Structure 1
Amino acid sequence: MSAAIPGARRLARVVLNAANPEALAEFYRDALGFTDAEADPAAVADGRDGARIVRLRLGDQRLDLAAAAGRPYPGDVPGYSLLFQHCALIVSDMAAAHARLSAHPGWRPITTAGPVRLPASSGGVTAFKFRDPAGHPLELLAFPADAVPEAWRPDARDVCLGLDHSAISVADTARSVAFYESLGMRVASRSLNTGPEQARLDGVADPTVEVTGLGFPDGPPPHVELLCYRGIASRPAPDLRLDDVAATRLVIAMTDGEALRAVCAAHAGRLVSGTPKAGSGDALLRDPDGHLVQLTVG
């Protein structure tokens, strides 16, 4: 598919699988400040009919937890694995957010020795990565006081402000950019992250990471980031079943049914079996590295 389809409007929500979504939701509420979100009767929350869903919100962004009876999250998946996909949460006070998280059991750190301040070349943010009780990777992010984007300037909200992005590990940046641009997204930022701070953050020895931010025409967060670790041997796409706990889904809202149908026709080989190919419903695709992308209208 060579020409971009101006169809993707926004990242409507991220869907995480869990054996017990109700119990996991308690962790997200207590440790991270999420609240319950109203159900959208017009939406299929995760592309699997009949799934039990807990709908959560942090600020203006949505995160859904879907009941899944498949394989558990496979241990400490490193950041360079194509299974790796994390949600990054913006916090107004890293010390307070980390202390609040530390007061709740069940999570495990990825970042070594606590939050780490990245150099200016990597954005200058303070970050901390960890795994929730089900194994999903998450990240806390705090901007420098003099460089807080308008969308994340603190107000009366909780110390955890909202979902900034979901980052996925990819084998080939150019290939993945081409796929997501074909949905209507655009490259908004690029950086090359390396050094001891990045090693601490990722828990990976001597990483060199191409970070590519992909934005949407609607503008506000969340967005999508591509993480490509240089020097890592080529890896096959993960064999993920839809009900595996690691089968996280990006739900992208398209402008209309025509855009959705065009994407489905162009990427027929990436459609998940049994998913509608027309605009009368959602479509579920696998990106070039096996990550699940659900397209919906709205």
Structure 2
Amino acid sequence: MSTQTDVQVQKIRAIGLTVTNCNRSLDFYTQAFLFELVSDITLEGQDYSDLEGVPGAKIRIVTLRLGDELIKLMEYLNIQGKPIPSDSQSNDLWFQHLAIVVSDMDRAYAHLRSFPIEPISVDPQTIPPENEASGGVRAFKFNDPDGHDLELISFPPDKGQDKWHQNSHSLFLGIDHSAIAISNTEQSLHFYCDLLGMQIDSRSVNWQSTQTRLDNLPGAKVRITGLRPVQDGMGIELLDYILPGKGRPIPSDWKSCDIAHIQIELVVNNLEQLVDKLRGNGVEFVSSRIVQFADSTSPYRQGCLVKDPDGHAILLIVES
């Protein structure tokens, strides 16, 4: 068993998406999925520039809640970020989606179709029963107005966390996980489990025509490893595409202000110790230092942005 002295991730606090226009994204997320507004702040100064690795950044951050989970819409007001490549596919290593849990897939899908989405899946797909880990799960993948990848997901009674089966009144229940495309499962497990202390929650291989229609990727076969932090809650899914193989890597010049940027906020119990451990293991840092926030408006006491082995952004924080 883990003890409190272990350096590890406690929980995922939020998922941050860099957006082109906060007002447009705010309208979309509140109307399409009934997210609720938590806060709307604009931040600038050396601390945030150092944290995100973007000099002179002025960032509007709109925090939204769905169920127990938070997302942050981050608009760089004074910098024009690069758009997400229009030919992106699910096996490109910058692929990362939010899985929004619904209580009724058909109703949610019908509701969503009146919004400006770009479908990835043909229509909602049901994972076949012979897939032990995820048989009966229904899913539909699509893009938001910026091209960020999203998924609607519904769980049969014997799958998913208990909380997804306790509230049948709401159509949109919360966020189960963020899924990221990776190049090598063992390499990612070393980072997320050995270094960050997350735990393996599930393993499966999804393939056949269902996965092809879900991902719009001919012959798709993907090894999926689900991870959860110690305190449970939102998780991370590692998507390792066996077929058609790995897509394109995340370009090394992409920055936090580019629209493809998504950062997973991980609450840790000892940031200094963890940073030493990550530096010793050759992890790439975006932040120039551990940023200390004295400002009472900040939800963090400390923060440091790093990259996982494939370049996905991980914001390590200590909460205020």
The 2-side partners of 1:25 and 1:223 are apart by 24
Q: State the Cα distance separating 1:281 from its structure 2 match.
A: 2.1
Partner of 1:287: 308
Distance 1:34 1:135, change over 3 A: same
1:83 matches 2:91: no
Q: In structure 1, what is the equivalent of residue 124 of structure 2?
A: 115
Q: Which of 158, 167, 179 matches 1:155?
A: 167
**Structure 1 stretch displaced more, 225-234 or 183-192:** 225-234
Of 254, 266, 270, the match for 2:280: 266
* Other structure's SS at 1:165 match: strand
Task: Supply the distance in 1 between the matched residues of 2:288 and 2:211 (Cα, whole angstroms).
Answer: 41
> 2:23 corresponds to which letter in structure 1?
E
Aligned to 1:103: 114
Preserved contact between residue 5 and residue 259 of structure 1 (Cα < 8 Å): no
Moved more, 279-288 or 170-179: 279-288
Letter of the 2:31 counterpart: D
| Cα distance change, pair 5–208 in 1 and its aligned pair in 2 (3 A) | farther
In the TM superposition, residue 228 of structure 1 has moved relative to its aligned partner by 0.4
The answer to whether the aligner puts 1:136 opposite 2:154 as a matched pair is: no
- Is 2:290 the partner of 1:276? yes
Aligned pair partner of 1:57 in 21, 41, 65? 65
Q: Which residue of 2 aligns with 1:127?
A: 139
Instruction: Quote how far apart the aligned CAs of 1:108 are.
Output: 0.4
Match of 1:226 among 231, 238, 241: 238
Aligned AA for 1:60?
D
1:11-90 correspondence to structure 2 within 5 Å:
11-38=12-39, 47-48=51-52, 50-68=58-76, 69-90=80-101
Cα pair 2:177 2:236 within 8 Å, conserved: yes
Cα distance in structure 2, aligned partners of 1:265 and 1:278: 18
CA contact (8 A) 2:60 2:75 kept: yes
Take 1:204 and 1:9, find their aligned partners in 2: how far apart are those partners?
Answer: 35
For 1:199-210, list aligned pairs within 5 A.
199-210=212-223
Match of 2:264 in 1: 250
Q: How far did residue 208 of structure 1 move?
A: 1.0
Residue identity in the other structure for 1:140: L
> Is the CA contact (8 Å cut-off) linking 1:82 and 1:238 kept in structure 2?
no
Deviations along 1:233-272, whole A, 9 cap, x unmatched?
5754433211100011011000134444444443564111
8 Å CA contact 1:7–1:259 kept in 2: the answer is no
Q: TM-score, normalised by structure 2?
A: 0.83
The alpha-carbon deviation at position 17 of structure 1 amounts to 0.6
Matched residue SS, 2:302: coil
How far has the Cα of 1:39 moved from its partner? 6.9
SS at match of 2:92: coil
- Taking the aligned partners of 1:17 and 1:162, their CA distance within structure 2 comes to 20
53-62 vs 238-247, greater mean Cα deviation: 238-247
Structure 2 Cα separation of the partners of residues 95 and 6 of structure 1: 43
1:215 aligned to 2:189?
Answer: no
CA distance in 2, matches of 1:123, 1:37: 33
Give 1:38 deviation, angstroms.
Answer: 4.3
Is the 1:260–1:296 Cα contact (8 Å) retained in structure 2? no
Greater strand share, structure number? 2
CA-based RMSD of the aligned residues comes to 2.6
Between 1:191-200 and 1:258-267, the stretch displaced more is 258-267
Name the CA distance, whole Å, in 2 between partners of 1:291 and 1:146: 31
Structure 1 length normalisation: TM-score?
0.89
1:51 Cα deviation after fit? 1.1
CA distance in 1, matches of 2:68, 2:257: 27
- Identity, % of aligned positions: 34
Contact 2:14 2:265 in 1 (8 A): yes
CA distance in structure 2 between the partners assigned to 1:234 and 1:136 by the alignment: 17
- Give the 3 Å change call, closer, same or farther, for CA 248–126 of structure 1 in structure 2: same
- Cα distance in structure 1, aligned partners of 2:227 and 2:160: 19
Contact residue 91 and residue 246 of structure 2 kept, 8 A: no
The answer on 1:187 being equivalent to 2:195 is: no
Task: Please state how far the C-alpha of 1:184 moved relative to its aligned partner.
Answer: 1.2
Matched residue of 1:100: which SS? Answer: helix
- Number of residue equivalences: 291
